[in-house]
Structure 1
Amino acid sequence: MRERPGLDRNLDSSTFLDFYYLKEEMVEFCRKYGLPVSGGKMEIAERIAHFLDTGGVLPVSGKKKRVTSLLEITEDSRIEADFVCSERHRLFFKEHIGKSFSFHVGFQKWLKSNTGKTYKEAIDAYYQILEEKKTGAAKIDRQFEYNTYIRDFFADNKGSSLEQAIRCWKYKKQLPGHNRYEREDLVALE
């Protein structure tokens, strides 16, 4: 088994991308080498990989969030471009969905990719997304590899403890390649 190398300037991008690094580790690396630290884990990883290959600095994506131009949000209102999860939106959805409403990742993504649809359609989508989460049909994005791994571990190992799942996760992230759960990862429990 090849051990996970420390994150430093001597790595090449393919080695870096083969292993799992915490966002905190990547942010520390960026600060050390003068790279921007803003953005999500995937954006930071792309920036580091580019830096390791070229020594150059990728610019930060220039997306600016706009404040909603809607004075009043109704079910017939259209979802605005560059949607921002504001307090006004939260109040609207809590009024129509209930106090348990939250801007979970799946719903945020739906809102941001469905500009022009109505808020009534958004409410329907919220319930559909919740249903998909219950059945396990919801896809977890790559930046949430840990969550995906733990979910898949428990699906394959009913009755196991979270401590066992975490031991297998720690073993897996030290290996090169993908970080998806595989039955062979149970070797970490021996």
Structure 2
Amino acid sequence: MTLPERPALSSSLGAGEFRRWYWLKDELQAFARAQQIPATGSKEQLAERVAAYLAGKPLPAPAAKPRRSRQRLVPPLTIHTVIPAGHPCSQVLREFFVNALGPGFRFDAPMREFFAANDGTATLAAALDHWHATRAAAAAPIGPQFELNRFARDWHAAHPGGTRDQMLSAWKVHRSLPADRRG
């Protein structure tokens, strides 16, 4: 059985065929720039714009950028430190959490969501409480825009002794297939 070959990304490609294939963000950005459509935003937003363009539909409006706090936390941080609304998950915060929780600390999805939802009244003590409260939670689903991450999680679950290089080789095969042929 021969597998279909991925078509070139061109303005003659239909939106349906476009959606069957995996595209790198760089490819989408280059195509968007060549067609003079906005090439900014997430890969998911960019793919929606390209699909709309290929279907001859109006382009979706660009998503508003989240507001970042201009106030930045500076050491020394304590559990009483109030986190400004919109404060990013910074290296200063990472250092605080690594000191409080150990070197295994990561800004995972529950922690990123905590900071995104913060209205400027949460303290670092509340963030630590949130960390502990979310440790027993099952692994959250990985969003559709993170296809490689979803593939890696599933592949490593199916191949517990597999290496990163083996997973990446399998990923290259997976992404070369049209969506209706991926397992």
Assess same fold via TM > 0.5.
Answer: yes
Provide the alpha-carbon RMSD of the alignment. Answer: 3.4
Q: Say whether the 8 Å CA contact 1:149–1:179 is kept in structure 2.
A: no
**Correspondent of 1:125 among 116, 130, 149:** 130
User: Which residue of structure 2 aligns with residue 187 of structure 1?
Assistant: none
Instruction: Please state which structure has a larger fraction of its residues in helix.
Output: 1
Structure 2, unaligned stretches of length 5 or more? none
Q: What is the match of residue 88 of structure 2? A: 84
Aligned residue pairs total 178
- Structure 1's unaligned 5+ residue stretches are 183-190
Alignment partner of 1:67 is 2:70: yes
Question: Alignment partner for residue 113 of structure 1, among 112, 117, 132?
Answer: 117
Q: Percent identity?
A: 30
For the residue of structure 2 that corresponds to 1:142, the secondary structure is coil
- Corresponding letter in the other structure for 1:151: R
Report if aligned partners of 1:20, 1:179 keep a CA contact under 8 Å in 2: no
Partner of 2:148: 146
> Is the counterpart of residue 159 in structure 1 residue 161 in structure 2?
yes
The one-letter code sitting in structure 2 at the alignment partner of 1:177 is A
Distance, in Å, in 1 between the alignment partners of 2:134 and 2:38 is 34
Letter in 2 for 1:97: L
* 1:61 partner letter: A
1:103 aligns with 2:86: no
CA distance in 2 between partners of 1:157 and 1:23 (Å): 28
Using structure 1 for the length normalisation, give the TM-score.
Answer: 0.70
